[in-house]
Structure 1
Amino acid sequence: MNPLIKIRRDLHQIPELGFQEFKTQAYLLDYIQSLPQDRILIKKWKTGLIVKINGLKPAKTIGYRTDIDGLPIEEDTELPFSSAHEARMHACGHDFHMTIALGVLTHFVRNPINDDLLFIFQPAEEGPGGAEPMLKSEEMQEWMPDFIFALHIAPEYPVGTIALKEGLLFANTSELFIDLKGKGGHAARPHETNDMVIAACTLVTQLQTIISRNVDPLDSAVITVGKISGGTVQNIIAEKARLEGTIRTLSPESMKKVRHRIDALVKGIETGFECEAVIDYGSMYHQVYNTETVTREFINCVDQDPEINVIECTEAMTGEDFGYMLKEIPGLMFWLGVDSTFGLHHAKLNPNEAAIDVAIKVMTRYITFKGNHSI
């Protein structure tokens, strides 16, 4: 078996949630320490790793980032290497991302280039968000790269396809949690209560007017309430209710506007239903914005390989906290085709492992080019 396939399958079996990636960190560290150590420096950051490979004649530092956490999903693939952790799964391809990063790292340990390389194994991408605090950490500040790159698997594209665009690639995202508290009571005496199920339903309907009546029709934004909980039994009027959802926008300005309107509507619910409300926006991720000049250079370099199909895609409403790194450091993210019938965050996601070698080929080619040319 290809050693990288084994690594991917090993990692697939031990998915862990954000800032709980202890087994994952140990596995990554064990592998990296098995390589020749003469040019490798390693730092731990929480449950992540930062690995520097010293170049031959460094003029700059090139960064490559991978996320390492899993999702709270019960796997349903029936693969022989399915998740060994109950209700945990690498359903967003982070096992692929880590394996590719290790493959690229291994290549440059054995095939040095002029510039320094920095491999960032970042925890908690799925939540609560590891990129921003990692970027601000002393460890990263000491080894801040001049450029940074990352990829994300794309089930909808065939193996051999690289999809990206200059500028905006992923949306601004924010979690949304709203807790309502009123006065419960007997179902036969509704006039003595403040029904939070009715309040919650009313609020969900009102939230849907924000996009249609407050966001420019030529812009794009999404508010989705994915979960409502409230009440205890059928004959008691609910004292409490909770809404859980997500916000997606294509600009930071629209995110501010949407959140401002949510605040206003929730205040209206408090007045209209004589209740208390608490809003928590949870984790908020900055948009992924690919640096135009770097993206053009990347496309020109990779497009020379006839086996790689580079296509221009449209921006997506998906979120990625890598956006915080691109906000501070020039670079890019691209979609890697993995040809899976089931999509991201699905319990049956099963990416084609042939894409691992494709990604390593693409990144080693480009980093070699960039790492042997001065800024």
Structure 2
Amino acid sequence: MPELNPFIKLRRELHLIPEVGYEEFKTQQFLLDYIGTLPQENLEIKTWRTGILVRVAGVAPTKTIGYRTDIDALPITEETGLPFSSLHEGKMHACGHDCHMSIALGLLTQFANDPLRDNLLFIFQPAEEGPGGAKPIMESAEFKAWWPNTMFGLHIAPEYKAGQIAVKPGLLFANTSELFISFKGKGGHAAYPHLANDMVVAASAFVGQMQTIISRNIDPLDAAVITIGQIRGGEVQNVIAEEAYLDGTIRTLSKETMDIVWTRLKQLAKGWEEAYQCEVRFIAGSDYVEVDNDEVETNKFIDYLQKNASRKLYRLQRSNDRRRLWLLLRKNSWVHVLAWRRFGIQPSSF
């Protein structure tokens, strides 16, 4: 049997040990152990919570170039049946962060052995899937000491076949807000609904009504989406639920549209409190600004691919992601790379 590419092997080893946000202890140690095998003359390493920062000194630096990867997993039970399936029950690298880490380690290996002119900063960021690790790590003293002039990153994309790269200058990823809503009413016996205020009914009706914000309050030439990914309510089948919860996300192409969506959600909530005799509360989540790829840096990358690479290039229209806080830096570029699968990203079979 032919020997595996060492970075494919690393990816499979990382796939075995998925950990959710700020619990990436094994992952952090795995990464540190590997980084410790590289030539250390030009490396400086710092840890921040469960994340890692690695600075590679350039030979004649005039700036610092940042490269970021996410390291956390999702609370999903893996169903791939692969021989390197998750060893952590109920957790899985279903969004490709194991691939992202192995790619970052490959780049770090290259430049640890052969430094560029400029300094490089590799960021192994925890908690991308939640509760949000980008802003806290950017606000840390460790990161500020090595603040990069420009930032690059990528995400695997199963909708493209192996050998394809997708990128575009300008707007790439939408704004995202996490959405958590609680409904509190009055529980009761299933045989006496008239003596209770059923929060499963209230929450279910709210899911449908909030979609009218998109169809009736947002300009048809604009774009926005509200997705509810989880509904929870009740304890047993014969008791009317006193509480119910909706968890989801909002995505828009501008802050102004995001403000419209939030304003209408809060207006609807007031009406729901009256109509269903309940309390509706919004629970704070994370917000992420849009990714706007730097025109100059992104076009340099596109020109390079067109002249030098044996890979098919796709110019994207737009996408959605949570990497956007990193793109508040002055110059940036984000790309999608090959990762073909039968199913899309984040299911248990990815």
TM-score class, shorter? over 0.9
Q: Distance in 2 between matches of 1:309 and 1:265?
A: 47
The equivalent residue for 1:372 is none
User: Aligned to 2:54, what secondary structure does the other structure show?
Assistant: strand
The equivalent residue for 1:28 is 31
User: Aligned to 1:59, what secondary structure does the other structure show?
Assistant: coil
| Cα pair distance change 1:3/1:236, threshold 3 Å | closer
Contact map agreement 1:63 1:119 (CA 8 A) in 2: yes
Q: Distance in 2 between matches of 1:258 and 1:14?
A: 38
The equivalent residue for 2:341 is 340
Q: Distance in 2 between matches of 1:38 and 1:167?
A: 38
| Cα pair distance change 1:234/1:71, threshold 3 Å | closer
The correspondence of residues 58-137 of structure 1 with structure 2, limited to 5 A, is 58-137=61-140
- Cα deviation, 1:285-319, whole Å, max 9, x if unaligned, reads 22122111111111112221241222201102x22
The equivalent residue for 1:172 is 175
Letter in 2 for 1:148: M
| Cα pair distance change 1:263/1:75, threshold 3 Å | same
Correspondent of 1:181 among 181, 184, 199: 184
Q: Which runs of 5+ in 1 are unaligned?
A: 350-375
Q: How many equivalent pairs are there?
A: 347
Q: Distance in 2 between matches of 1:101 and 1:25?
A: 14
Correspondent of 1:264 among 259, 267, 285: 267
Deviates more, 1:183-192 or 1:119-128: 183-192
Q: TM-score, normalised by structure 1?
A: 0.89
- Cα deviation, 1:306-352, whole Å, max 9, x if unaligned, reads 41222201102x222x2111112311110001111121101111xxx
The equivalent residue for 1:5 is 8
Q: Which runs of 5+ in 2 are unaligned?
A: none
Contact map agreement 2:151 2:329 (CA 8 A) in 1: no
Instruction: State the shift of 1:200 in Å.
Output: 1.6
The correspondence of residues 258-337 of structure 1 with structure 2, limited to 5 A, is 258-316=261-319, 318-320=320-322, 322-337=323-338
Q: Distance in 1 between matches of 2:342 and 2:272?
A: 42
Deviates more, 1:186-195 or 1:86-95: 186-195
Correspondent of 2:233 among 222, 230, 234: 230
The equivalent residue for 2:165 is 162
Asked if 1:246 is matched to 2:244, the reply is no
RMSD: 1.4
Instruction: State the shift of 1:281 in Å.
Output: 4.2
User: Aligned to 2:343, what secondary structure does the other structure show?
Assistant: coil
Contact map agreement 1:221 1:248 (CA 8 A) in 2: yes
Q: Distance in 2 between matches of 1:151 and 1:194?
A: 48
Q: Distance in 2 between matches of 1:114 and 1:166?
A: 25
Instruction: State the shift of 1:16 in Å.
Output: 0.5
Letter in 1 for 2:201: I
Instruction: State the shift of 1:182 in Å.
Output: 1.2
Q: Distance in 1 between matches of 2:92 and 2:191?
A: 45
User: Aligned to 1:258, what secondary structure does the other structure show?
Assistant: helix
Instruction: State the shift of 1:202 in Å.
Output: 2.4
